[in-house]
Structure 1
Amino acid sequence: MATQEDVAHGSRYNAYMALILSTIAMIVCFMSWSNFAPLAAQVAKMFGLSVGQKTLLLATPVLLGSIMRIPVGILSDKYGGKKVYIILMIFILIPLFMITKVHTFGMLLFAALLVGMAGTSFAVGVSYASVWFPKEKQGFALGIVAMGNMGNAVAALTLPRISASKGFTNVYYFLMIITVIIMVLFAIFCKEMPTDKTKSVAGALSVAKESNTWYLSLFYFLTFGLFVSFTNLTPMFLGDIFGINAVTAGLYAALFAFLCTIVRPIGGSAADKFRPMSMLQWIFIIIAAFSLVIMFSFKSQPLFILGIVGTGLAAGWGNGVIFKMVPEVSKGNTGAVTGFVGAVGGLGGFFPPLVVGWIKGWTGSYQWGIALLVLTALVCWYMLRRRFIKGDVHIVK
């Protein structure tokens, strides 16, 4: 196992192998985490689902994947990210296999809940990769590893095509095969991170007492929640409103997820050089502006796509900026802080599909659901400005 001295003096091979394979592993895990979104129309037809049931199915994996980021992040800090990552990938194989055998919506929902554990790969990846890089490079490094979010885009591009050509169940056999492959590669080529076995759960949970943990969680609720919920909702929006087929809608969802992901390391790198909170206030304003574009574009597909692209770029940049600050909140507890911030961010992806589905059923329109996104962005802007811009609080010195 690696020692603190190994990390401090740097094995370039260990560092970059950890970064590369953590990122690839997260891509594979996120493909499983978001598997229902690009297949939503087909699944709804197979199981006879209503709009409410469909949005519940999309949201369910996000729930467990969000809540469990806290204990999984703590376990990574205490026992090592390599061990936890391998165990996680073994567990994911169980619900993926279950999905190929279920015949009722209730059992499908249960399998969806379990496959949500794939979303905890974010906490493991950040905890594992962060220890190999010095402070001045962590914004960029964590931006790179968090590009594992691109698994959403890869799922949107590949899964509808596999389903159309090979059948629905083969989608899940494909996911199982690539999960096993990356698990074996991770086991062979990655070195375990340094850990502190004396660290207690109570000590790790002490990060909840840090007010900055909750401020970053609120901001990530908006930026990462927007990424997750819009990746899931875009195919439904395009299908229901504009009558676009599942494969084409998946391409648009992949575009959104790709843009949101690819700018993340750019945001993290920028946060290495400039004051992160100053950038975030403009990001929140841009998100609010493009959300207004979406809100009033349900009769114009080009305008809707413009709104999606704009929010994706802003949210992705914001994700990178926020995670530059995560290792600074509580030294030695990066996994725990990541767990909390990631959990709240994941819940930001859980609630919107449910709320949007409920509002659509009540009002017959998606617009009021988008209006809540505008309001959330403005609340985040106000809280950030009051505490970090006009106040004297600094997470990154």
Structure 2
Amino acid sequence: MLGEMWTLRGRYKILHLTWFAFFLTFVVWFNLAPLATQVQADFGLEVGQIRTLAICNVALTVPARIIIGMLLDKYGPRITYTLLLMYAAIPCIIFATAQNFNQLLISRLALGIVGAGFVIGIRMVAEWFPPKEIGLAEGIYGGWGNFGSAAAAFTLPAIAGWLAFGAINPQTGEALLNWRVCIAGTGIIAALYGIFYFFNVQDHPPGKVYRKPKNARGIEVTTPKDFWFLLLMNIPLSGILMVLAWRLKKLGLYDVNTLYIVWTFLVGLYLFQAYNCWVANKDLMTGKKRYPADDRYNFSQVAILELTYFVNFGSELAVVSMLPAFFEGTFTLSPAQAGMIASTYAFMNLMSRPGGGLISDKLGSRKNTMGVLTLGMGIGYLFMGSMNNNSWLPLAVILTMGCSFFVQAGEGSTFAIVPLIKRRITGQIAGNVGAYGNVGAVAYLTIFSLLPEWLGGGAKPTPEIIGQANTAFFQLMGIAAVVVAFLCWFFLKEPKGSFAEHHEGEEEPEAFHHDSILQADPPMESVDSIPRS
């Protein structure tokens, strides 16, 4: 595969066009962070307000990934990615033309939906690559696309400065940034690429069936026990939004009565999601349908992958947010030096995520690969928790890069398994697993923000307390990863056909071979027609 990858034909063309679509969604999603100081200065925002915008940027990504997964399974990745990329222009333009804080806040909430684009490409790549190559292909898609956040950080300030034509702030003497045109431009470029994407990709290779569930309103399970397990695992998806609402209330965005209204709405959202899951699995739960053995899958496998993505991608988003300040405070570095060193963590994505997928393809056991990488991540975080101002800086950088490799390789290994669980609901599985990554990020960042207050007894944290909080934070992530690693070893199962030579669905009857039509799976046999064992 590595030798053919640059041919830009067939499935490799699809791979490159798709990872670049993901890359653009991350440029759009993270276009505020490198321009935040200029936005703050132009609007006279307080620190709490600019942090509120950062939180709102990820708030709707959790439900958006679930909804996008449903739409993806029903309509296919080509249409879904095109519409999402075109949608990106709307909140970008609203943000760029905002005249007050409320308009900024609403547009950032809407922009969080763009962060769900990752899910779409997971299924597109899975449709084009056989199981034996799925790990590397998904790793390239995820790792290279994920680099969009780093690309935004490095390029957008320079572009915004160029668009300001060298204007200088008379009060500070610093160069002004034309952040409005820059942010609007990222959305417009994404929308134009969405149109280009639509006319240059197909949902699946010729002669292959695009499998989709009969009902995409909720994840299809194959046993009654798994239905209740599904409802249990859906609780954190709404629960973390309740935590997020509480944090926004703590920042003074609204009062306690509004918080209760938001919480009531989120409880209703969970109940609505549970109802949709019931609709999707009603025949199973009422005994009208029974799945044959070769069409069943264990939802516990999805649950474990949700937890692996919680601890790897969730911790990555959290660490990227705090690592510059950690190096600056621990080793007495300038902000620029600390930022450059901390960027090595994100830069590892270019190699680590594809590397994790490749390892998963080559070692012959995706289960053991997942367990080893997750354990390595946990050990890495525990070592990072031991770093202090007496540590040797070069060793700390090497340790950070080593830990980063295991984190991002673990992400690649996770999505080397996701498309192999149950093909016709890959979008929904990827959506739920991806959403758990954001659940982990919000959970870790919330704990990180509260640790100094907890350890300091509510007083203003001293440098010593901040150091203790950093240590506790890394140790928490390390212990969580070690626990999940053992879950992988003892409960994760090797997916059927993990290293098959051909795509699923290639050998369907000729009557089904229509590239332009999305075919549904044939109806399941009723319970009475299935021989009982």
Query: TM-score normalized by structure 2?
Result: 0.65
Taking the aligned partners of 2:370 and 2:312, their CA distance within structure 1 comes to: 10
Is residue 59–residue 349 contact of structure 1 (8 Å, CA) maintained in 2? no
The residue type paired with residue 157 of structure 2 is P
Instruction: Give 1:62's aligned residue.
Output: 58
- 1:360 Cα deviation (Å)? 3.9
2:385 — aligned with what?
295
Residue 201 (structure 1) aligned with residue 201 (structure 2): no
Alignment deviations for residues 64-97 of structure 1 (CA, whole Å, 9 cap, x no partner): 2232111101211210101011110111111111
Map 1:11-30 to 2 at 5 A.
13-30=9-26
Indicate whether 1:267 and 2:264 are aligned.
no
Residue 193 (structure 2) aligned to one of 143, 157, 182 = 182
Q: Secondary structure at the match of 2:415?
A: helix
Q: Alpha carbons of 1:255 and 1:392: their partners in 2 closer, same or farther (altered >3 Å)?
A: closer
Paired residue total? 383
Q: Is contact 1:76–1:84 with CA below 8 Å preserved after alignment?
A: yes
1:257 equivalenced with 2:253 (yes/no): no
Aligned to 2:309: 220
User: What is the deviation of 1:384?
Assistant: 3.5
User: What SS is found at the alignment partner of 1:35?
Assistant: coil
Contact 1:153 1:255 in 2 (8 A): no
1:81-92 to structure 2, matched below 5 A, reads 81-92=77-88
From 363, 372, 381, the equivalent of 2:482 is: 381
Amino acid at match of 1:381: V
Matched with 1:94 is 90
Task: Name the structure 1 match of 2:299.
Answer: 210
Amino acid in structure 2 at the alignment position of 1:99: F
Q: Which residue of 1 aligns with 2:494?
A: 394
Larger radius of gyration: 2
Q: Which runs of 5+ in 1 are unaligned?
A: 1-11
Check whether the contact 1:225–1:345 (CA below 8 A) recurs between aligned residues: yes
Instruction: Tell me the amino acid that sits aligned with residue 394 of structure 1.
Output: E
Cα RMSD after superposing both structures: 2.9
Moved more, 249-258 or 56-65: 249-258
Q: Given the two structures, how large is their TM-score scaled by the length of structure 1?
A: 0.85
Q: Is the 8 A contact 2:86 2:192 kept in 1?
A: no
Q: Which amino acid aligns with 1:190?
A: V
Residue equivalent to 1:5: none
Aligned match of 1:108: 104
Q: Distance in 1 between matches of 2:438 and 2:445?
A: 12
- Return the alpha-carbon distance in structure 2 between the equivalents of residues 392 and 178 of structure 1: 41
Q: 1:192/1:390 Cα in 2 relative to 1: closer, same or farther (>3 Å)?
A: closer
Instruction: Give the counterpart of 1:155 among 152, 157, 174.
Output: 152
Measured at CA, do residues 44 and 245 of structure 1 come closer, stay the same or move farther in structure 2, by a change above 3 Å? Answer: farther
Give the drift of 1:296: 4.4
Once the 2 structures are TM-superposed, how far is the Cα of residue 30 of structure 1 from its aligned partner? 0.6
Aligned pair in 2 of structure 1 residues 101, 305: CA closer, same or farther (>3 Å)?
Answer: farther
Counterpart Cα distance in 2 of 1:165 and 1:236: 28
Counterpart of 1:3 in structure 2 is: none
Choose the corresponding residue for 1:352, options 444, 447, 464: 444
* CA deviation after TM superposition for structure 1 residue 327, in Å: 1.5
Shift of 1:57: 3.0
Deviation at 1:17, TM superposition (A): 2.2
1:349 positional shift: 2.1
Indicate yes or no: 2:269 matched with 1:169: no
2:121 is matched with 125
Q: Is the 8 A contact 2:83 2:194 kept in 1?
A: no
User: What are the equivalent positions in structure 2 for 1:40-79 lying under 5 Å apart?
Assistant: 40-46=36-42, 47-50=44-47, 53-79=49-75
Q: Structure 1 CA distance, aligned partners of 2:14 and 2:403? A: 30
* Alpha carbons 1:285, 1:378 under 8 Å: kept: no
User: Which one is further off, 34-43 or 172-181?
Assistant: 34-43
User: Could you say which residue in structure 1 is the equivalent of 2:421?
Assistant: 329
In the alignment, structure 1 residue 310 sits paired with structure 2 residue 407: no
Report how far residue 176 of structure 1 moved. Answer: 2.4
CA deviation digits over 1:304-333, x for unaligned, max 9? Answer: 544432332111111111111112222321
Q: Distance in 2 between matches of 1:179 and 1:220?
A: 27
CA distance in 1, matches of 2:425, 2:142: 18
Report if the CA contact (8 A) 1:212-1:395 is conserved: no
**How far apart, in 2, do the equivalents of 1:355 and 1:152 lie?**
23
Tell me which moved more, 318-327 or 106-115. Answer: 106-115
SS in 1 for 2:472: helix
CA 158–81 in structure 1, closer or farther in 2 if over 3 Å, else same: same
Which stretch of structure 1 is more off in the superposition, 232-241 or 56-65? 232-241
The structure with the largest helix share of the pair is: 1
Contact 2:304–2:492 (8 Å) recurs in 1 = no
Q: Offset of 1:352 from its aligned partner?
A: 2.6
Q: CA deviation at 1:105?
A: 3.7
Distance apart, 1:367 and its partner CA: 4.3
Choose which of 193, 198, 203 in structure 2 pairs with 1:192. Answer: 203
Q: Distance in 2 between matches of 1:361 and 1:44?
A: 26
SS of residue in 2 equivalent to 1:131: helix
Alpha-carbon contact 1:62-1:347 (below 8 Å) kept: no
Contact 1:283–1:318, Cα closer than 8 Å, also in 2: yes
Seen in structure 2, the aligned counterparts of structure 1 residues 113 and 355 have a Cα distance that, compared at 3 Å, is farther
